[in-house]
């Protein structure tokens, strides 16, 4: 119970901070807080399949983009915004179950390659359906009525609310029999299957959970942005950033994706503001360094291992015992 309380308290404090940021300087911090909540949800969602189950999925952008277009199209057809989000979630979940049934028969890098292929297949499909999606010209989405500050608040608190929901689900998975089964699959899938765990079903459920929240976030993002296009919605960089966020904090943990998404988003914001031309290159180098020296994430930081590595790359004897 004590281990459960610490993440809950830390997460509650972080939720309060995000909700209070707009009152510091409305427009900039509201946008920043909404982005952080968005990426936190995506990282938490990836954690179900990539962290707990150990399947390196790179299909985040596929389900995010599909949810964005499903929500935008139905909203433009006259469906209320909230119902459009629900429709997008259901559609993405159904397609994720189908994709998962096929892809999850693969393992390791074969699964990773298959999952990233989904992104390109859906992007090209959306770009080709010009009558429905606008193709490469993109698609305008009906704006929520109201002033900029009101609209910003609505989407911020919607994102934060969804972030809380995914966190609560993560806590449940972490302590449940289902979560135990996912960890068994991560450790040794064949052994898990032999002791009676329905590994195929568990993997599909984890994959659908991951995809469904990505689809919901995509639909909310489309309503928030007011415009989407295939290149932005199915961005390959997004499908790479999200696993990095989860691993940076600690994949397979409750607070890891939250911490990783916050750290990554803040670093990215700092580099955008100060190194506009080289921000992605610098950020990439920083992330590689962090993951190399913190392979298990910030939450599983081993100070002795970190100390040995730092001393080794400082030119000392790597076998020399640490103090």
Lowest mean pLDDT among 67-71, 141-145, 164-168: 141-145
Say how far residue 30 (Cα) sits from the centre of its chain: 20
pLDDT at 320 over 60: no
* C-beta pairs of 14-18 under 8 Å, 24+ apart in sequence: 14/258, 14/262, 15/160, 15/163, 15/164, 18/156, 18/160
* Inter-CA distances, 153 with 19, 164, 228, 298, Å: 9, 16, 21, 31
The residue assigned the tokens 């929240």 is 213
pLDDT band of 312, cuts 50, 70, 90: low
pLDDT digits (tens, 9 = 90+) for 163-204: 999 999 999 999 999 999 999 999 999 999 999 999 999 999
Cα maximum dimension of the chain: 68
User: What is the Cα–Cα distance from 83 to 98, expressed in whole angstroms?
Assistant: 23
Q: What is the pLDDT of residue 314?
A: 59
pLDDT band of 306, cuts 50, 70, 90: low
Task: Determine how many CB atoms are found less than 10 A away from the CB of residue 291.
Answer: 14
Whether the Cβ atoms of residue 106 and residue 112 lie closer than 8 Å to each other: no
Is the model more confident about 5 or about 285?
285
pTM: 0.89
Comparing CA positions, the residue from 296, 277, 101 lying closest to residue 205 is: 101
Q: What is the pLDDT of residue 21?
A: 81
User: What is the Cα–Cα distance from 203 to 188, expressed in whole angstroms?
Assistant: 13
């Amino acid at each position: 119970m004590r281990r459960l309380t610490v993440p809950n308290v830390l997460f509650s404090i972080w939720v309060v901070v995000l909700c209070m940021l707009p009152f510091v300087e409305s427009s900039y911090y509201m946008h920043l807080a909404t982005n952080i909540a968005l990426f936190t949800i995506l990282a938490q969602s990836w954690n179900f399949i990539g962290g707990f189950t150990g399947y390196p999925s790179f299909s985040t952008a596929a389900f995010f983009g599909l949810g964005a277009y499903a929500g935008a199209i139905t909203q433009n057809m006259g469906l209320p915004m909230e119902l459009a989000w629900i429709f997008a979630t259901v559609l993405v979940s159904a397609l994720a179950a189908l994709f998962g049934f096929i892809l999850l028969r693969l393992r390791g890098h074969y699964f990773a390659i298959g999952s990233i292929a989904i992104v390109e297949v859906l992007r090209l499909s959306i770009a080709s359906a010009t009558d429905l999606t606008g193709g490469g010209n993109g698609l305008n989405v009906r704006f929520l009525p109201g002033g900029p500050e009101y609209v910003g608040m609505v989407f911020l608190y919607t994102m934060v609310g969804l972030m809380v929901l995914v966190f609560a689900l993560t806590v449940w998975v972490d302590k449940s029999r289902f979560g135990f089964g996912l960890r068994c699959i991560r450790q040794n899938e064949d052994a898990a299957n032999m002791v009676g765990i329905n590994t195929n079903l568990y993997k599909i459920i984890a994959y659908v959970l991951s995809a469904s929240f990505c689809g919901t976030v995509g639909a909310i993002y489309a309503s928030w942005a007011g415009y989407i296009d295939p290149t932005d919605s199915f961005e390959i960089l997004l499908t790479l950033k999200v696993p990095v966020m989860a691993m940076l904090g600690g994949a397979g943990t409750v607070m890891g994706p939250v911490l990783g998404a916050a750290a990554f988003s803040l670093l990215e914001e700092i580099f955008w503001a100060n190194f506009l031309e080289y921000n992605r290159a610098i950020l990439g180098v920083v992330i590689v360094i962090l993951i190399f020296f913190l392979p298990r994430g910030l939450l599983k930081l081993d100070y002795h291992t970190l100390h040995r590595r730092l001393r080794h790359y400082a030119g000392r004897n790597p076998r020399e015992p640490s103090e």
